[in-house]
Structure formats: structure tokens, C-alpha cells
């Protein structure tokens, strides 16, 4: 019922036509595609997919982004995630007191020096000119926050769920049993455009060491406990209908607006087509052990 309500709500939501990226941190569908094109160009571990369900406000061959079989070698409980050096990105929108995102991997300190360095690295505006940005996972020749409670009990991936494929994928290969291969969990990570919130939305589908789909509780082992079962819920993927873990996008725009404002303090401007590079960075605060991010080092 909750998923049906969300689909109805999105169906009556008008499609954003004019840019409000600098003003509100949101994207039009065209800006989402441009940002996705930049990510795919710079980091070919990501690719565009069409999906079984096509949304008219996006090109048929660019419905969502996906990177497959990325490793997750350890559980979140095994790492020191939140320490005295981490900061909260305040998200005061009148809903709850003290909302925020853990800014583990980015320095949001005075002046936004590191964010300014990121913007410098992504200048000028033409795509060929940003070829110096590195994608450590690329095999191409040229190296081209705390969320509101969001409950959805209708679409939970049960422990005995028999889904065995996502978008034609089959999980890790059978060769994983070989003694010389490190056994590890893997994930398919996809990014869709959420028409209601006007931002990207991340979806996760995981496999265990033998290639079998992970249960809901197993996936929560790979999610920051500050966000598990609150920021992250289980819902059918909008382009396949298969239940995925989803990072709810209700405050993505607030986080991006905070980043835009910090860059502004240093006289820098973030373009909409650069959105994905920072987006995958702040999402990593929720899924810090899933090694999907092969864009340039933000702290370098």
C-alpha cells in the first residue's frame, strides 16, 4: 500500500523543468542525465541501463545508472565509523531537531577548503577538459545527515527470498569457489532519478560469498547503524520491481545545498553535471564498506 501511494504521489508531481540546482540542490531530469553522462565518461565502472519500466521524462536508454559486483569485504561493525573527527551536516528543515548527516569522508570545516579543491579539480566546464580526473576502477585507455523516519513494511526482502538476478546479472561467478580467490560479498549499486524529491536515489542488491542474494538482515550489516532501518528501507526497484535496499532521498537536496553553500564561501561554483562525483561521496557515509566509489580521492 505504501509503495502504491508513493507511485501515485509521484505520478501527479510535475516534472521539474527549470534548474534549481544552485538554489535548492535539486536536479531536473536533463541535469540528472548530464551528471550521469559525466560519471559514466569519467568512471566506466558505471553504465546506463534502460530497465523493464521506462519513465517518459528520461531517455529510454538512460533510465538509471548501475555498477555491478562491487566488493564489500567487511561488515560495518568491524570498522571505526563515527569518531571525534567526524562532523554532522546540519539539516534543519523544520521537521526534527538535530537532524544531520555524518560527514565522515568530507571536511565541511571553515572555508570549505577541501570542497573548493574538488571544484578546482573539475574545472573547466567542457567534458574533454576534465580528463585529468581519475577513476581508479576504470579500465579505459584514457583516464577519462540523518533522515526522517520512513517506514515501508509492505516490501521487505525476506530471508528466503528467491530472487537470483538483477537486471540480467547473476551475481558473482561460479569461479569464486577457487582457492586463490578471496571470498567476499558483492553488491549491485544503482542510481535512479526520484521525480518527487528531484534528486538521485541509490538502490542496493547484495550477494553472499557463494553468489546467493543477501537477506534483509545481512544487508543491514553493511549499512551504518546510524541509518539502518531508518534512512535505508526495502522497496521494489522502480525499473525492475525486485526488492532492493534503498537510501531514502528525502534530504539529499539539503546535503547538496550545504555543499554548494560551502563551496560558495570559497568563491567556487559547483555545476549540476558534477553532481554525481560529490553525491557518491556523501552516500558512502551510509555504506562505508561497499567499495563502489572509484572516482578521484576527495581527500587527496
Rounded CA gap, 54 and 61, in Å? Answer: 9
Instruction: Kindly give the interhelix angle for 252-265 and 275-283, rounded to the nearest 10 degrees.
Output: 120
Contact present, 185 and 72 (Cβ < 8 Å):
yes
Is the Cα torsion angle 68, 69, 71, 74 positive or negative in sign?
A: positive
117 SS3 class: helix
Q: Residue 292, CB half-sphere, CA atoms under 13 Å: how many?
A: 34
* Annotation says 250 is catalytic: yes
Contact present, 247 and 201 (Cβ < 8 Å):
yes
288-300: burial string, b at 16+ Cβ within 10 Å, e else: bbbbbbbbbebee
Rounded CA gap, 40 and 272, in Å? Answer: 15
* Of 250, 274, 159, 267, the residue nearest 212 (C-alpha): 159
Cβ count within 10 A of residue 179: 5
Rounded CA gap, 98 and 106, in Å? Answer: 20
**96 contacts: CB under 8 Å, gap ≥ 6:** 146, 148
Catalytic residue annotation: 250
Amino acid at each position: 500500500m505504501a509503495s502504491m501511494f508513493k507511485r501515485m504521489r509521484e505520478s501527479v508531481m510535475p516534472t521539474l523543468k527549470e534548474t534549481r540546482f544552485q538554489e535548492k540542490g535539486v536536479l531536473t531530469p536533463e541535469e540528472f542525465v548530464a551528471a550521469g553522462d559525466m560519471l559514466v565518461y569519467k568512471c566506466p565502472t558505471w553504465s546506463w541501463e534502460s530497465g523493464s519500466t521506462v519513465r517518459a521524462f528520461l531517455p529510454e536508454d538512460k533510465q538509471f545508472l548501475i555498477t555491478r559486483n562491487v566488493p564489500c569485504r567487511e561488515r560495518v561493525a568491524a570498522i571505526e565509523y563515527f569518531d571525534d573527527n567526524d562532523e554532522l551536516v546540519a539539516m534543519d528543515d523544520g521537521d526534527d531537531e538535530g537532524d544531520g548527516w555524518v560527514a565522515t569522508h568530507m571536511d565541511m570545516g571553515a572555508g570549505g577548503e577541501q570542497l573548493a579543491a574538488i571544484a578546482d579539480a573539475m574545472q573547466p566546464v567542457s567534458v574533454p577538459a576534465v580528463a585529468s580526473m581519475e577513476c581508479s576502477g576504470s579500465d579505459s585507455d584514457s583516464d577519462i545527515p540523518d533522515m526522517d523516519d520512513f517506514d515501508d513494511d509492505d516490501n521487505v526482502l525476506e530471508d528466503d527470498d528467491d530472487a537470483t538476478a538483477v537486471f540480467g546479472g547473476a551475481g558473482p561467478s561460479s569461479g569464486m569457489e577457487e582457492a586463490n580467490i578471496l571470498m567476499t560479498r558483492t553488491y549491485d549499486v544503482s542510481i535512479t532519478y526520484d521525480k518527487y524529491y528531484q534528486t538521485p536515489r541509490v538502490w542496493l542488491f547484495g550477494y553472499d560469498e557463494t553468489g546467493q542474494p543477501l537477506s534483509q538482515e545481512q544487508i543491514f550489516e553493511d549499512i551504518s547503524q546510524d541509518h539502518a532501518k531508518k534512512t535505508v528501507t526495502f522497496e521494489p526497484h522502480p525499473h525492475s520491481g525486485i526488492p532492493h535496499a534503498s537510501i531514502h532521498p528525502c534530504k539529499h537536496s539539503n546535503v547538496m545545498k550545504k555543499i554548494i553553500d560551502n563551496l560558495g564561501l570559497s568563491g567556487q561554483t559547483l555545476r549540476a553535471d558534477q553532481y554525481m562525483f560529490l553525491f557518491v561521496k556523501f552516500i558512502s557515509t551510509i555504506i562505508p564498506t561497499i567499495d563502489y566509489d572509484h572516482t578521484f580521492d576527495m581527500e587527496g
